Structure 1
């Protein structure tokens, strides 16, 4: 199977997930959408969980490794700007489509972690490490271990609590009101 053909199949999978949910997605639907035979799909992937996991892993994450504005506040505001865009909305749609299935299929949970969570964690670790090196944050600040929870919590909670998406403006205010005070509170003076 060529890389282009595989990409077409993965796009069909992700499009179908965005339109419905994991339970509604079938190998028949994928085959129809991708203009492929079910036999082709089953020759390459054992079943739906493996195909969906492969499609998730195929996604290219944002180039967050290059994030470095020179300050903790700048880096966090850039994360908020990037996170509050269309990419976040797409991720949340996929996460909602997969949330129940991830409990039943650990391979899906692993794929979500590898394709979406791990790159974000790497970025946040780099932001924190640079802030510690610059003396902006105390290395032993207990809030450092909760940075990912703080940021992801806001993006996941706002649609539930306020019935509004976590847009860049909201996330920027959240960074100023919650994240930065938590991270800067333990700084040695």
Structure 2
């Protein structure tokens, strides 16, 4: 008697995953985290809920993967030889429409992160912690090059300063951060505080 072969799972293509990510982010933008469901993503992408759950475990995993996928790379991918150059390179790859969309999505996630521990955990483990590690390494390289004093107390607040620019621009000016705004902020506030 021969044993029945287990059905082979089809390999998921990057294009197919991108469809799921786009659907998840579209739904997040349309109705917020509470309204986003795996059922809605499955319906919009003509896939089974089981496939989505098997791949991401739930909507928190899918949303965080989608946010990660739609970033244009982080500081870990950049080492120009100067801190100013690193931030210039990061800004050069950002598209202003994408920055505006990211701010809108972050607004949709802000409260949900406080009310959904699974989302908060996934967000921290897969987005915040890796980016903070890379950010600290970039600052460490600047210290090693002599651009920043190792004892500069602002080092502990550098990430807060940058995030503050995004939040304040949206909150105070009701405008998304633009390349011009961020370049001005980096030149007028961020670098003068850090660079020796």
TM beyond 0.5: yes
* Kept after mapping to 2: 8 A contact 1:81/1:171: no
Equivalent in the alignment of 2:115: 104
Tell me the TM-score normalized by structure 2. Answer: 0.78
1:79 aligns with one of 63, 85, 90: 90
Q: Give ranges in structure 2 of 5+ residues lacking alignment.
A: 1-8
Matched, 1:165 2:165: no
1:88 and 2:102 matched: no
After superposition, the Cα gap between the structure-2 partners of 1:139 and 1:70, relative to the gap in structure 1 and judged at 3 Å, is same
Change in Cα spacing, 1:161 to 1:138, as seen in structure 2 (3 Å) is same
Moved more, 108-117 or 78-87: 78-87
In 2, Cα distance between the equivalents of 1:157 and 1:84?
20
Q: In 2 relative to 1, CA 43–126 (structure 1 residues): closer, same or farther, beyond 3 Å?
A: closer
CA distance in 2, matches of 1:120, 1:50: 17
Return closer, same or farther for 1:83/1:153 CA change in 2, 3 Å cut-off: farther
Three-state SS of the structure 2 residue aligned to 1:21 is helix
Identify the structure with bigger relative contact order (alpha carbons < 8 Å, sequence gap 6+): 1
CA deviations on 1:12-57 (whole Å, 9 max, x unpaired) are 2222112321112123322210112345545656544454345446
Query: How far, CA to CA, are the matches of 1:106 and 1:163 in structure 2?
Result: 29
Say if 1:26 and 1:169 are closer, same or farther in 2 by CA, change over 3 A: same
Residue 23 of structure 2 corresponds to which residue in structure 1? 12
Alpha-carbon RMSD across the aligned residues, in angstroms, is 2.7
Instruction: Give the aligned length.
Output: 185
Supply the distance in 2 between the matched residues of 1:9 and 1:78 (Cα, whole angstroms): 29
1:32 and 2:43 are equivalent in the alignment: yes
Cα distance in 2 between the residues matched to 1:167 and 1:73: 17
1:145-176 CA distance string (max 9 Å, x none) = 11111111101210111122111111111111
**2:185 corresponds to:** 174
